[in-house]
Amino acid sequence: MTAWLMKSEPDVYGLSDLKRDQTTPWEGVRNYQARNFLRDDAQVGDLVLFYHSNAEPSGVAGLARVARAAYPDPTQFDPKSDYADPTSPPDAPRWVTVDLAFVEAWRAPVTLAQLKADSALESMEVTRRGSRLSVHPVSQVHFDRVVALGRANGVL
C-alpha cells in the first residue's frame, strides 16, 4: 500500500466538505506527474494526508483513503467546468480522477511550518522549496510521523 499527500484549497473543497459528503471524486488534476500517480499507482485502500493549501495556516488537516481507483475525469469533457480540456479525446481520455473517502479530521492541522521544522520530515516532498505538486506519494515513515503529530492535536 502507498500513502499519499493530496492538496486542496479549503475554500474550494476542504476536509470538512469531505467529512460531510463522506466520498468525493478527486477531480481537476491537470498536472501530468500528478495524473500519472493517480492513474498508475493509487490503489483502493491507500491512505491520504489531506493537505489544505493556500490556507491560514496551510497544512495537513486529516486523513482520507482512496475509495475508487482511477477512472476518466468527467470534468475534462464538460465545457462549463473550470477543468474542461477540449483537446482530450473521449476515446482516450487524458485526465483521471480517483474517489476519496473521509477517514478522520484533526482539531488543528499539522502546519507547513511544523512539517519544515521537523528534522524527521526534511526530505518530504511538500517541505521542499518550490514544491507545487498536488498529488504525490509519501514514505511510510513520513506518513506515520505526520499522523502522530496530527493525532496529538486531537481527532474530531
Render pLDDT for 43-67 as a digit per residue (tens, 0 to 9): 999 999 999 999 999 999 999 999 9
Distance CA 20, CA 22 (A): 6
pLDDT in tens, 3-37: 999 999 999 999 999 999 999 999 999 999 999 99
pLDDT score for 132: 82
Please give the tally of structural domains in the chain: 1
Residue 34 belongs to domain with CATH number: 3.10.590.10
Host domain of residue 146: 3-152
Distance CA 152, CA 20 (A): 23
Q: Which three cell numbers stand for residue 81?
A: 467546468
Q: Which three cell numbers stand for residue 114?
A: 511544523
Closest among 12, 27, 8, 1 to 139, alpha carbons compared? 1
pLDDT score for 130: 80
This prediction has a pTM of: 0.95
Query: What beta strand segments (E) does 29-125 contain?
Result: 47-52, 59-72, 96-111
Q: Which three cell numbers stand for residue 66?
A: 482512496
Q: Which of left, alpha, beta for 15 (phi over 0: left; psi -120 to 50: alpha)?
A: alpha
With a cut of 90, say whether residue 73 has pLDDT above it. yes
Mean per-residue pLDDT of the chain: 96
**What 3-state class would DSSP assign to 48?**
strand
pLDDT in tens, 89-108: 999 999 999 999 999 999 99
Percent over 70 (pLDDT), the chain: 100
Distance CA 8, CA 71 (A): 19
With a cut of 90, say whether residue 131 has pLDDT above it. no
How far, in Å, are 47, 51, 80, 89 from residue 7 at the CA level?
A: 14, 5, 23, 27
pLDDT score for 128: 87
